[in-house]
Amino acid sequence: MSINEPIDTSKVSMVSVTCATTSDTTFTVSMHPDLVDELDEGFSPMDGIVSIDEMFNELPLLHRALAPTRLRKRAGHKLKVYRGCYDWYRSLGFSYVQLGTTLHVLELWYNENRNLDDVDVILGTRQTEGYKPFDPMADVAATDDRPSE
């Protein structure tokens, strides 16, 4: 085929590529089991469950506002490290990075003099659209087989 010959359209297929953006992306959280245990054991039993629920279910929703508009399949030379804390226990913070659509929690840390200007995400504010906070009493009521009075 020379440069001046017309293209045989029967041999060409059109490919549509959709670029993922933060508005239609679902993020997941990856956390080492030791960090999950630290959250679970560092609080009362119910607070531990709530903190884990917020980390795995609320963080992905809040991160959408922070995430780059175009997702990269591979990490660049520099990773942005995000920092977060809990609204109900601001001294406990965490750091995480985004690789593709996964948010990797790197560490938990304690800072008594927490400045909220240094934090990217605050979990547990009860204002996150689409997040239904964990209600331990709903589970108790659903499994309670005692007769009501």
- The string of pLDDT tens digits covering residues 73-125 is 666 678 899 999 999 999 999 999 998 889 999 999 998 877 888 899 999 99
Contact status, residue 106 vs residue 81, Cβ threshold 8 Å: yes
| Average pLDDT, rounded, for the chain | 80
* Higher-scoring residue by pLDDT: 49, 73: 49
- Choose which CATH entry (1.10.599.10, 3.40.190.10, 3.40.50.150, 3.30.2310.20) describes domain 23-136: 3.30.2310.20
Torsion of CA 64, 133, 123, 71, to 10 degrees: -20
Contact status, residue 85 vs residue 51, Cβ threshold 8 Å: no
The label of the residue with tokens 């080492």 reads: 32
Mean pLDDT of 15-41: 75
Mean pLDDT of 123-132: 91
